Amino acid sequence: MNADLLKETAQKMVAAGKGILAADESSSTANKRLASVNIEQNEENRRRYRELFLASEGIEEYLSGVILYDETLRQKSNSGKPFHELLKERGIIPGIKVDMGAKDFANFPGEMITEGLDGLRERLQEYNKMGCGFAKWRAVINIKGDELPTYACTHSNAHAMARYAALCQENDIVPIVEPEVMLEGDHSIERCEAVTTEILKATFEHLEMMRVMPEGVVLKASMVLAGNKHEKQSTPEEVAAATLRTLKTSVPANLGGIVFLSGGQTAEQASANLDAINKLAKKEGAPWQLTFSYARALQGPALEAWAGDDAKMPEARERFHKRLKLNSAAREGTYSPEMEANGVAA
Ligand code: 13P
């Protein structure tokens, strides 16, 4: 394990003005995205969908890294260059999703456990050779009333993430640890805060037990906000206060960095909330960089514009760049909703 390399990579991942693009949808999730805009679902169209984002010029100004899926890591861009080489050439770190997905958790109806530890060491060794600087593992945590999540679900997922993280560091790959508290549900922001606090405390307890080095870990967190079916939706100021409070009580100060998922928020909401979190962090002080690692909130508007028609590529890429610029501003706490209407201020 090269501790200096891991620390350096983690710091690069959360560099000023930049964030991470999550483009690591599994083939079945990528197919769902294609189906949502009526594109035929096959490997070539999944490649074209990646081309839209990964071969877009100038993205290195806003992106420190891109999370890829195994299929994409082995695909080439229209230029004939493998996607991961294209990214590296522009100073963007390629990363790789290594979990095998969340499956039903035996004996615990409504809960999920993430699989993928078997054979992980060998896969990480190959990904390291292919130039991946970081990896990602996502756990899914559902909130339902006061019953879910259970202790068993919280700790089993935390344990799996800690074993994954230790294997990543062994192979000089920075683990992104992603315990996603799902937005779906009618829970309040207070309930989300209590659950997220518990999940994060359990996650870092297991990481410490497995002797994972915090400086070489990036947390991918869900923001703390009311469920999407709750009667009162949270304002950016409420999200910022609850999210920062939760992170400060549960996350070690020497962690490599924190990135957020968008989790089904609209593109505008995800930017406004990230901005509010950073504005508050500037005021209160926070020991970590706080940036984005969005999939849907970065890709959604562009995917709709493209819809499989390459003649629409320029407009689609313009929309993608707009989201990148706005989130880059949000990541610094300098976004404002007016920037949405006016395009992007210089
Ligand atoms: P969303 O931003 O669409 O939630 O995706 C992020 C991600 O990587 C989920 O694992």
Residue 236's contacts (CB-CB under 8 Å, 6 or more residues apart) are 269, 272, 273, 275, 276
Give me the CATH topology for the region 3-98+105-332: TIM Barrel (3.20.20)
Nearest CA to ligand 1 atom 10: 138
Name the catalytic one among 12, 220, 279, 325.
220
Q: Which amino acid is at 157?
A: N
Name the residue with tokens 């409420």: 238
Q: Measure the CA–CA gap between 133 and 131, rounded to whole angstroms.
A: 6
pLDDT tens-digit series, residues 204-250: 999 999 999 999 999 999 999 999 999 999 999 999 999 999 999 99
**pLDDT value of position 343:** 56
With beta carbons less than 8 A apart as the criterion, state whether 112 and 142 touch. yes
**pLDDT value of position 346:** 38
Say yes or no to pLDDT of 118 above 80.
yes
Name the residue with tokens 């009311």: 226
pLDDT tens-digit series, residues 267-313: 999 999 999 999 999 999 999 999 999 999 999 999 999 999 999 99
Ligand 1 in contact with 138 (CB < 6 A)?
yes
Please tell me the distance between residue 183's alpha carbon and the centre of ligand 1 in angstroms.
12
Of 24, 1, 2, 11, the residue nearest 217 (C-alpha): 11
Please tell me the distance between residue 305's alpha carbon and the centre of ligand 1 in angstroms.
20
The pick from 294, 298, 320 for probing ligand 1's pocket by mutation, whose C-beta has the most ligand atoms within 8 angstroms, reads: 294
Distance between terminal CA atoms of the chain? 43
pTM of the predicted model as reported, rounded to 2 decimal places: 0.98
**Helix (H) or strand (E) segment spanning residue 284:** helix 267-284
With beta carbons less than 8 A apart as the criterion, state whether 193 and 248 touch. no
DSSP output for 24-92: ---HHHHHHHHHHTT---SHHHHHHHHHHHHT-TTGGGTEEEEEE-HHHHT-B-TTSSBHHHHHHHTTP
Please tell me the distance between residue 24's alpha carbon and the centre of ligand 1 in angstroms.
9
Atom number in ligand 1 closest to CA 270: 2
With beta carbons less than 8 A apart as the criterion, state whether 251 and 204 touch. yes
The maximal CA–CA distance of the chain, rounded, in angstroms, is: 55
